[in-house]
Structure 1
Amino acid sequence: MQITAIETVVVSLPFTMGGPYSSFAGQVWDHLDILLVRVETEDGLVGWGEAFGHVAIPATRAAIDSVLAPLLLGRDATDIEGLWRRIPHAVHLLGRNGPFVYGFSGIEIALWDLAGKRAGQPLHRLLGGRDPGPMPAYASLLNYGDPELVARNCAEAAARGYRSLKLHETTVEAVRAAARAAPGAEIMLDVNCAWSPVEARAMARALAGEGLRWLEEPVWPPEDTTGLASLREIGIPLSAGENVAGLHGFRRLIEAGAIDIAQPSVTKIGGVAEMVRTIHLCQAAGIEVAPHSPYFGPGLIATMQIAAALVEKPLIEILWLDMEANPFDPWVRAEGGMVRLPPGPGLGCDPDPEVLARYGRGAPNRQELKA
């Protein structure tokens, strides 16, 4: 079944986050920008994907529009494994991590959406799983830099039913504020590669008595597997993986003895099939899997579908903020600290065209197969 069109669409959604907006790359972050990928086949069937992301969207979109889409037009959309071998290989000189991998991830997710729709089956069934019913989620708070705001948002998240909370802070005081505000909730800490190995070991020792469920990406740079492994003896479970380039990047983490929890990210790793291979690798090594998924559309929904099929005790990351609207509502929101799978085939749902039209940023970029 030939791919006849690939279209990139950016949706920009206003949100509130329980505190002042932060800046990233010189921009105030007050809108969620989603890079959606729409793939159409010769029979008129449409699949949707999501490619990473945030301020990297212009680069990822350019990679899709200028290079990846022309390579994929006319190819067989059902040959997902073959396309995984050919397309990333064709562009490997342009980078094994970054926009070209992110762009292929978005397209590949859309191909799985198409495969499920064509088979009349949801993605979790294609992967050999079943719908587990509501799955627990954790609230992934944004960075506040203020223990009082941390406490306020943790208390609200706990009141909304979350039993697991992740902070994006770098202080012991923030962790303690969260624990006081949400007694009984498990607390995770993601510091986004804030420290050198020496600093990370000192901070891990300071945090060792705080009962953290995990400490996420404590070491800069993230590929310093030896530096990360040096923290294991301190006793806090270590998690990492959102910045890892595919299966072999996770193999290096495992061989270094650097992680207790693996966090593959479907919109960054190369898509669904590479995510599945990585999960199997980690499970064979006795490593827990907690997918990275602070996404807002097909990336989040694909993660939920994969976790439902393959992860024994799924725990789904939901970014802690309130969106003005989302084209994939209600499936991208947690209720009572739980998420549920949409009921349709493929990913399970399509975006609301009215929300796409209202919040679209600029015109879609469409590449079509020439006759």
Structure 2
Amino acid sequence: MRITAIESSVVALPFSMGGPHPLFAGQPWDRLEILLVRVETEEGLVGWGEAFGHAAIPATKAALDTIVAPLVVGRDARDINAITRQVLHGVHLLGRNGPFVYAFSGIEIALWDLLGKRSGQPLWRLLSGSAPDPAGLDAYASLLSYGGDLELVARNTADARAQGYRHVKLHELTREAVLAAKAAAPDAAIMLDVNCAWTPPVARDMAASLARDGLAWLEEPVWPPEDSAGLASLRRFGIPLTAGENTAGLFGFRALMEAGAIDIAQPSVTKLGGIGEMLQVIALARAHGVEVVPHCPYFGPGFVATVHIAAAQVERPLIEVLWLEMEANPFDPWVRVRDGKVEVPTAPGLGCDPDPAVLARYRRAAPTRIEARRAA
């Protein structure tokens, strides 16, 4: 099953978020952009993947189109482990956590989609999972940042609870925001993600102030994110600690776990290297008694792949869904939440291909196509 071509394309989906659009990495953020990876084989099968993402798309797409895709075209699509080892080793001097790994993540997800389609099995079954609950997996509303506006925090928390979410995550920096959310939805679990805002001394002071507020978890409280000892120093305050979206691969997670720094691991399939690396992190977490809640604020194949992985491999799956309303999405309805639940596709592979009409309408530019050289 030789890979004959790899295409990259970007769709930009307008969205509303219950408040003013923020800046993302210094840029206005009013479109949800998805970097799609399309892998074709000589059998005529097509697999879809997603590479991280958001403001990093120009760098990730350049790495994909110029370096990573040319290393993969012409290979046997079934040989996922060998491709992973050789490609990631081939680009390791270019960075073990960044655009080149993100780019390969998109290809690797597409290879699993192809494997499922070729075998006629959904991804969750390939991953040794039993049939998922038809009602779906629990999701949590991941609110965007409202810049400390407590009225917006309270209103959106209440709205999320009214839509069936029993877990709500804030992207704020104050205890007052936590208390506003708890007052707005007293029966919801509230989590706080500060995106590595604090040095360890400040983080310890904040954790002490939050210790009796009943947070379900405190996410990435320490800067820099690789300071596992600094993160571990917060464990004494009794708030469950989570991290992982900025962690480089299996050994990065091993360092966090061996330091006793986290209660919950948050690997991200579009950043980590794909599904295979994700499975290794889950196995490592299981061995260390660490829970897994994947990081997946995406709305394409990366999100769908995460749903399959969680259904098959995570004991208490909980799926992150950004609290926003898209004008359209090429992967509807599988990226939508109903009554706080996300459905798991049952068709082969990822179980859903994008709607070509939606792709055409929201595609930002013509796809870039890398083809295998034909034998002379």
Shorter-chain TM-score range: over 0.9
Q: Show CA shifts across 1:62-103 (max 9, x none).
A: 001000111111111000011111110011100000000000
Match of 1:125 in 2: 125
Amino acid corresponding to residue 358 of structure 1 in structure 2:
R
Match of 2:195 in 1: 192
Task: Report which stretch shifted further, 124-133 or 163-172.
Answer: 124-133
* TM-score, structure 2 as length reference: 0.98
Note if contact 1:343-1:349 (Cα within 8 Å) is conserved in structure 2: no
2:301 to 298, 303, 306: 298
Amino acid corresponding to residue 341 of structure 2 in structure 1:
M
Match of 2:61 in 1: 61
The CA deviation at 1:118 is 0.2
In the aligned structure 2, how far is the partner of 1:131 from the partner of 1:327?
25
| Corresponding residue pairs, total | 371
Match of 1:80 in 2: 80
Question: What SS does the aligned partner of 2:169 have?
Answer: strand
Question: What SS does the aligned partner of 2:141 have?
Answer: strand
Question: What SS does the aligned partner of 1:132 have?
Answer: coil
The CA deviation at 1:343 is 2.5
The CA deviation at 1:25 is 2.9
Match of 1:112 in 2: 112
Q: Show CA shifts across 1:200-253 (max 9, x none).
A: 000000000110000000000000000000000111000000000000000000
The CA deviation at 1:369 is 1.1
Q: Show CA shifts across 1:121-172 (max 9, x none).
A: 0001001002322110000000002111000000000000000000000100
Match of 1:222 in 2: 225
Tell me, yes or no, if structure 1 residue 97 matches structure 2 residue 97: yes
Is there any run of 5+ residues in structure 1 with no aligned partner, and where? none
Tell me, yes or no, if structure 1 residue 246 matches structure 2 residue 257: no
Note if contact 1:10-1:34 (Cα within 8 Å) is conserved in structure 2: yes
Is there any run of 5+ residues in structure 2 with no aligned partner, and where? none
2:362 to 330, 340, 359: 359
Amino acid corresponding to residue 28 of structure 1 in structure 2:
P
Question: What SS does the aligned partner of 2:101 have?
Answer: helix
Report matched runs for 1:1-371 at 5 Å.
1-133=1-133, 134-144=136-146, 145-371=148-374
Amino acid corresponding to residue 3 of structure 2 in structure 1:
I
Report the aligned-residue RMSD.
0.6
Q: Show CA shifts across 1:27-67 (max 9, x none).
A: 21000000000000111100000000011001000001000
In the aligned structure 2, how far is the partner of 1:300 from the partner of 1:331?
9
In the aligned structure 2, how far is the partner of 1:15 from the partner of 1:131?
33
* TM-score, structure 1 as length reference: 0.99
Amino acid corresponding to residue 82 of structure 1 in structure 2:
A
Matched-pair identity in %: 70
TM superposition outliers: structure 1 runs of 4+ over 2 Å: none
